[in-house]
Amino acid sequence: MKNKVALVTGSTSGIGLAIAKSLAEKGCRVMLNGSREASKVESLLTELNRDHDVAYQRANMMDPEAILRMVKACEATFGKIDILVNNAGIQHVAPIEEFPLEKWDAIIAINLSAAFHTIRAALPGMKEKKWGRIVNIASIHGMIASPFKAAYVSAKHGMVGLTRVVALETAKAGITCNVICPGYVMTPLVENQIADQAKAHGIDRKAVYEMFLKDQPTGRFVDPSEIADLVTFLSSDAAASITGTILPVDGGWTAK
Ligand code: NAD
């Protein structure tokens, strides 16, 4: 995958960072993204640039204009975008009648609309080269529902629909678009949920771990590297005929 350029949204931690590292290890030049100012990720960039070629573009995935600037900055820095990974995401858990309106808007914007904006902006360049890979990171909640996750479940189901449309629209253009649906992966997003649940229910973290893992037949959290390896495969030439697919990486959750 030498000479390929990847843009990975929400890639300063968790799954996104694992994806960025995996693609960089395969020889891609990678544009990282996050909402934090560049000075906050300087040490991460220095560390990655020891062995790889990466840059960082700050852009809030709630802001369509910032998203467009990020895509243009990637094309200006590295000359093109071959691989686009829509990974940025947030979570909020509350019963629907109490769901804060601003949380609904933020989750729909970051977890769904941002992918529409990045794809819309990156596709012309991919079509010109007749080569492109788009990988969307949804969730098992793009396939099934859980209570109290109205915005997250809606956005992730939307991501699955968006993926299918893009796959059909690009099928003859040398571009693929797929969506990965992880079960629980141990990242800061899940660590925060575990801490919140432990506090809310007055129980210890181990009990919350067990609560989370009861749905995942393997009985363990998915490792971020497992998602990253799949993204890297989907981004390779070997995956040219895999498009429009929904790929659960959920330890057997949806087999039940
Ligand atoms: P994380 O909190 O470690 O990472 C989320 C990333 O999104 C961070 O890099 C953060 O900076 C970025 N981000 C958040 N808001 C942003 C904004 N407004 N603008 C730009 N970047 C923003 O969480 P994670 O677990 O690595 O999640 C990554 C993706 O995987 C998310 O889309 C999440 O829904 C999905 N996912 C996670 C799990 C899990 O169990 N961890 C399961 C299924 C799906």
Cα 141 to ligand 1 centroid, rounded to whole Å: 14
Predicted confidence pLDDT, tens digits, the chain (256 residues): 999 999 999 999 999 999 999 999 999 999 999 999 999 999 999 999 999 999 999 999 999 999 999 999 999 999 999 999 999 999 999 999 999 999 999 999 999 999 999 999 999 999 999 999 999 999 999 999 999 999 999 999 999 999 999 999 999 999 999 999 999 999 988 888 888 888 988 999 889 989 889 999 999 999 999 999 999 999 999 999 999 999 999 999 999 9
- Quick check: CB of 182 below 6 Å from ligand 1? yes
- Quick check: CB of 216 below 6 Å from ligand 1? no
Beta strands, E only, the chain? 5-8, 29-34, 54-58, 83-86, 132-137, 175-182, 246-249
pLDDT of residue 197: 84
- Quick check: CB of 190 below 6 Å from ligand 1? yes
Identify the bridge partners of residue 247 per DSSP, sorted by sequence position: 180
pLDDT of residue 76: 98
Q: How far apart are the first and last CA of the chain?
A: 37
Percentages helix, strand, coil for the chain (3-state, rounded to 5) are 55, 15, 30
For the purposes of burial, counting CB atoms within 10 Å of the CB of 251, is it exposed (0-12), middle (13-18) or buried (19 or more)? buried
Cα 147 to ligand 1 centroid, rounded to whole Å: 20
Strands 132-137 and 29-34: unpaired
The residues assigned a catalytic role are 152
Cα 52 to Cα 191: distance, rounded to the nearest angstrom? 29
Cα 250 to Cα 163: distance, rounded to the nearest angstrom? 19
Helices 150-170/101-108 angle, 10° precision: 20
pLDDT of residue 223: 97
Cα 186 to ligand 1 centroid, rounded to whole Å: 11
- Quick check: CB of 87 below 6 Å from ligand 1? yes
The protein residue whose alpha carbon is closest to atom 10 in ligand 1 is 10
pLDDT of residue 201: 85
Structure tokens at 175: 């571009």
Atom of ligand 1 lying closest to residue 184 CA: 40
The protein residue whose alpha carbon is closest to atom 6 in ligand 1 is 10
Cα 157 to Cα 37: distance, rounded to the nearest angstrom? 31
Angle CA(13)–CA(58)–CA(124) in degrees, nearest 5? 105
- Quick check: CB of 15 below 6 Å from ligand 1? yes
pLDDT of residue 189: 83
